[in-house]
Amino acid sequence: MKKLYELELTRRGVTPAQFLAYVRQMCKRHDIPFEMSARDFANGQPWGNDVYSDTHYTGGTPETRPCFAETCKQKPFDYQTYFKGFDGSVYNEIIEFQFDDENTGFGYFYTVSTEGETLEDAAAVMRSAVNVHEIAIKRNEYSIEKKGAELAETLRNIEHGWAGSYAGVHAEILRHEIEAAKRENEEHRAAIEEARAELAKLTGEAEQTGEAEQTEAAQAVPADVEQTEAAQAEAQAAPAPVGGFGAILCANGRVDVTETRGGIVVNWTRYNSMEEACSWTAWKVANETGKGPADVEAVPVKVAPGVYDIKVTML
């Protein structure tokens, strides 16, 4: 998947108008399209100051659906436009401003645009999404079983008069957490079915494409490529490949990050926020590859409802 452009900017101690002028100047320098007036940035959309939509399109065909997924946030000083096409092409633009005092504050801008990916890449993303959701279901089922046993014991203690004054409150909290985990699993199962349906479409298309490529390869003249001793030494000295990282946004706002190597999930960790998850992912990759923390960037890219790929970039 070829990256057409990517740009991240920050400024502190500026007004919103000054920050927009800086963003516009840098985008022009890098030949990146940017259109945002100071008035729109301050007011959000005219039909409301709390406009937000996050849509994952299902059903139908590419001819009847506008795209695979899109996010649109248009609040005062807080804009995002995210688009993922059926071929995996991505456009994402984020521009935010937080006031430190009455007039000035901190501005953040990020934009990226990529070309479409191959069918094999898109299928791999869907398989990863299924895998991540299945792990979340197992974790929730364990939690439901454990809290269910704790709830049963609490209710027995209440019945026999052995419980303290807060036992009833504790029982209600346990019931709420169990129901929340069950609802979360329903969402995960729905997302799995959605991802499997998309995977079936992609796999069918990939098989047809594969047959055409095999026919073309059979007609081509094979060429022998010899690897030099220097290239072999360089390959042996290269660091072990870092795994792929996926993230699940939980109902309580926390984020579960999974690390996959060779199609197998080897690790999962829960973080308090997406920002913390990306920060620690970047640190882990930097540590494994011998890079400095400032040389690695980790950015979440949404691939399905509640599911994100954490894209790691070596700077």
The answer to whether the beta carbons of residues 13 and 2 sit under 8 Å apart is no
Going from the C-alpha of 55 to that of each of 69, 70, 195, 233, the distances in angstroms are: 6, 5, 15, 48
pLDDT of residue 244: 77
| Residue indicated by tokens 């095999």 | 214
pLDDT of residue 239: 41
Same domain assignment for residues 25 and 131: no
Same domain assignment for residues 170 and 148: yes
Which strands sit side by side in the sheet containing 264-271, from one edge to the other?
Answer: 264-271, 255-261, 244-249, 307-314, 296-304
Low-confidence ranges of the chain (pLDDT < 50): 47-49, 221-241
pLDDT of residue 237: 42
The answer to whether the beta carbons of residues 259 and 245 sit under 8 Å apart is yes
Residue 276 domain-assigned (yes or no): yes
Q: Where are the alpha helices (DSSP H) in the chain?
A: 16-29, 38-43, 119-159, 167-219, 229-237, 274-289
The distance from CA 241 to its chain's CA centroid, rounded to whole angstroms, is: 20
pLDDT tens column, 200-209 = 877 776 555 5
Query: How many structural domains does the chain have?
Result: 3
Give the residue from 88, 117, 146 where a domain finishes: 117
pLDDT of residue 274: 85
Same domain assignment for residues 100 and 125: no
pLDDT of residue 225: 40
What are residue 268's phi and psi, to 5 degrees? -140, 140
pLDDT of residue 45: 67
pLDDT of residue 74: 85
Range of the domain at 252: 242-314
pLDDT of residue 28: 94
Identity of residue 312: V
